[in-house]
Amino acid sequence: MPEAIRRQVADHPCYSEQAHHHFARMHAAVAPACNIQCHYCNRKYDCANESRPGVVSELLSPEQAVRKALAVAAAIPQMSVLGIAGPGDPLVNPERTFATFRLLAEKAPDLKLCVSTNGLALPDAVSELARHNVAHVTITINCIDPDVGAQIYPWIFWQGRRVRGREAAAILIEQQQKGLAMLAERGILAKVNSVMIPGVNDRHLVEVSKAVKAKGAFLHNLMPLIAEAEHGTFYGVMGQRSPTPAELKALQDECAGDMALMRHCRQCRADAVGLLGEDRGAEFTMEKVEAMEIDFDAALQRRLEFRAAVAAELETKRERAPQASPVTLHRRAPRPADDGRPVLMAVAAKRGLVFEHFGHAREFLIYEASAAGAKLIGHRRAAQYCFGDAECGEAEDVLAQTIRALAGCEAVLCSRIGWEPWRELEAAGIQPNGEHAMEPVEDAVMAVWREMLAAGRLVRSVAEQRCA
């Protein structure tokens, strides 16, 4: 990877897997309107425990968004990116979006600017994005075939009229592909997000991955559909199922040969704040932000010092393991001929360390450990107690739900764990391990894998040995 691009992504938590352990982003929820309808979206439903695109608790004016961004950047020196990702489409709200960028660039020029769009209005906005130094743009591309698109998008709003069905999908696809090529020409790093919808576009996404790579996309992020009846989305109400973690991983592995893949996406809310997977939005409501006193110069100094310290730490790691990629570049790795089969492990992690008590973890990072090393393949959310109203559903056995979420994992690494969950995890075939607290995640995962190997627990079956 060219040095200039390596530097450009080194502190962007979405474009670099390593960076996501250290750097935070804030989404400014300034863009309410959207020009298309996706069958998986309902922007009216909000729940403080809900993390999915299109969800916000507070819509902000550009001035409020900048005030909030400065408050967040003062309190969280890890903040390196301000993104606009909704709750509608940023490019359908250009005055609000670009006013936010303009005001922020004056007050905090060190923060990167980022946009996420459905792509319909993108070709007309590329020049303006470049003028505002927006160096990272995400386009959600779920298909390149209008027949597939017609099953995902019931309508688009295009040139003053509502267009439906196959015609709508064809226009959207053309605009997305055109916009992607224009970004690549301008040197703006384009990431493509695709929502995997079983039975609709799951097989088709392999083709999509090849097509967007050919058009110059930097990274592809394959995300599972989120569809629950209570969200009131078309797919949720119609009972469209989401992919299983194993189905998503199989698709990611298939696409990994063609395209650099992002596997650490948390499908953030449009008003998310903080490190990925650690939403601190509740600390920064406008009421709280207005009451904060901020020393801008001191805050900027803290951010610069933090970034210099992380850069030095990562450089040291790079010197120790020069073959390790500093960014997310999961491509299909050759199967190791070594003995010892791959193992999935869940880690209660924070800031790159085995950090959390099992019972306090809100999510687990999932690693595949093998002789080739530890590879992050995704995350799973831990079940949470819900204190909302009665309609929000029963707080059934949280431990049982969490154990179900960890299906397929053979070990779970955490800083501490109580007896009851230990017993239940063991009974479910998942070995708890609290012996690597505060160690770097990948070192800990590999240490546990080697312990399992030494104990003779990773012998491949005859069939597996033939395939390796």
- Interface contacts to ligand CLF, rule CB under 6 A: 14, 25, 27, 81, 83, 85, 114, 116, 136, 138, 221, 265-268, 276
Nearer to ligand CLF, 263 or 436 (CB): 263
Nearer to ligand CLF, 28 or 346 (CB): 28
Instruction: Tell me which residues in 127-166 interact with ligand SF4 (CB under 6 A).
Output: none
86 binds ligand SF4 (CB under 6 A): yes
**Please, what is the minimum distance in Å from the beta carbon of residue 143 to ligand CLF?**
19
Bridge-based pairing of strands 189-196 and 273-275 is: unpaired
The answer to whether the peptide bond before residue 245 is cis (omega within 30 degrees of 0) is no
The residue number whose beta carbon is nearest to ligand CLF equals 83
Q: What angle do helix axes 245-255 and 204-214 make, rounded to 10 degrees?
A: 40
Residue 415 site contact among ligand SF4, ligand CLF, none (CB < 5 to 8 Å, cut-off depends on kind): none
* DSSP helix/strand/coil, 96: helix
**Please, what is the minimum distance in Å from the beta carbon of residue 340 to ligand CLF?**
32
Phi, psi of 26 (to 5 degrees): -125, 135
Residue 252 site contact among ligand CLF, ligand SF4, none (CB < 5 to 8 Å, cut-off depends on kind): none
Residue 430 site contact among ligand CLF, ligand SF4, none (CB < 5 to 8 Å, cut-off depends on kind): none
CB atoms < 10 A from the CB of 150, how many? Answer: 17
Which residue among 9, 24, 29, 38 contacts ligand SF4 (CB under 6 A)?
38
Rounded Cα distance, 346 and 406, in Å: 7
Nearer to ligand SF4, 38 or 414 (CB): 38
Nearer to ligand SF4, 86 or 277 (CB): 86
Stretch of 81-89, 144-152, 281-289, 293-301 contacting ligand SF4, by CB under 6 A: 81-89
Q: Which helix (H) or strand (E) holds 136?
A: strand 136-140
Q: Which helix (H) or strand (E) holds 464?
A: helix 462-467
Burial of 323 (0-12, 13-18, 19+ CB in 10 A): exposed
Nearer to ligand SF4, 261 or 270 (CB): 270
Residue 31, CA atoms < 13 Å, CB-side half-sphere: 30
With contact defined as beta carbons under 8 Å apart, do 354 and 444 qualify?
yes
**Please, what is the minimum distance in Å from the beta carbon of residue 265 to ligand CLF?**
3
Burial of 291 (0-12, 13-18, 19+ CB in 10 A): exposed
Residue 221 site contact among ligand SF4, ligand CLF, none (CB < 5 to 8 Å, cut-off depends on kind): ligand CLF
Which residue among 10, 13, 25, 53 contacts ligand SF4 (CB under 6 A)?
53
With contact defined as beta carbons under 8 Å apart, do 200 and 151 qualify?
yes
With contact defined as beta carbons under 8 Å apart, do 211 and 144 qualify?
yes
**Footprint on this chain of ligand SF4 (rule: CB under 6 A):** 34, 36-38, 41, 43, 53-54, 86, 88-89, 118
